[in-house]
Amino acid sequence: MNNSNKLIIIFALLSILFSTCVKENFDTVPEKKYSVNFDANSTIADLKAIYQGGNTLIDENIIIKGIVTANDETGNFYKEIYLQDTTGAINIRINQKKLHIDYPVGQLLYVKCSGLYLGTYKEMFQLGYGNEVSGIEKVFVDKFLFKSDGGSPVEAKVREINELKDSELGMLIKVEGLQFEDPAQTYADGINHSNKTTILENCSGKKLDLRSSGYADFANDSLPKGNGSVTAILSKWSDYQLKIRNTDEVQLNGERCNQ
């Protein structure tokens, strides 16, 4: 074998070795992990219990933890996330967009509440910054919110319309046997970015509002015409209403009921 052929073989072997090493380095990059060195000392229900009307500064060392159940991924929620534990749920206001990147559904989250304000809006409990319970500014978020491994998506509680109650406001629920009263509509007005309330009903004629944002990416989608279940965050205006996370959770594919 002449020298030129030997050099070709050597270079080929070096190329294979180099590419193998590079691939191995990429494959072994460790996944980012989150952990905290403290634990919760209160439940969400405990936190709500200190509310005595008006916006309240939390000056105690109260730490809650829960699972993120809703964020701004589809645009139906804006600068807010919902946190839920086994005792209830709460709305956390954050003055930041694209929250779904940092706080995906299923994320386990600890909240150091001292220094935040607790308030209500239409009977929905909220945590925020300043006595107006405004959104927590990005520069302060890391002082209050702490992500941790170990979370998983919350399973929706199955409820009938007449079973809805204030203690479950903000929680993820699933209501079955529903259909839209007038399905010849869209969820909202995405052209003019106008919110809309559409009416759901069950086979007994009981009504339930569905509230959708004109900025939701499904705003101009047509309402489904069938009967089935809706999974959503329970909220309240004058009456109870639902706010969906995405249209995949509006499973109205069955035959409509006749009233």
- Give the global pTM: 0.86
Whole-angstrom distance, CA of residue 115 vs CA of residue 45: 19
**Domains, in order of start, for the chain:** 44-148 (2.40.50.200), 157-254 (2.40.50.140)
Whole-angstrom Cα distance, residue 136 to residue 97? 12
Predicted local confidence at residue 1, as pLDDT: 56
Whether 24 shows a pLDDT value over 50: the answer reads no
Does residue 29 carry a pLDDT above 50? Answer: no
Q: Which residues of 98-115 are buried (b: 16+ CB within 10 A; e: fewer)?
A: ebbebbebebbbbbbbee
Highest mean pLDDT among 9-13, 39-43, 234-238: 39-43
pLDDT in tens, 222-253: 999 999 999 999 999 989 999 999 999 999 99
**Lowest-confidence range among 13-22, 130-139, 249-258?**
13-22
More confident residue, 207 or 53: 207
Residue 102, C-beta contacts closer than 8 angstroms, at least 6 positions apart: 147
Neighbours of 162 (CB within 10 A): 9
Look at residue 28 and tell me whether its pLDDT is greater than 50: no
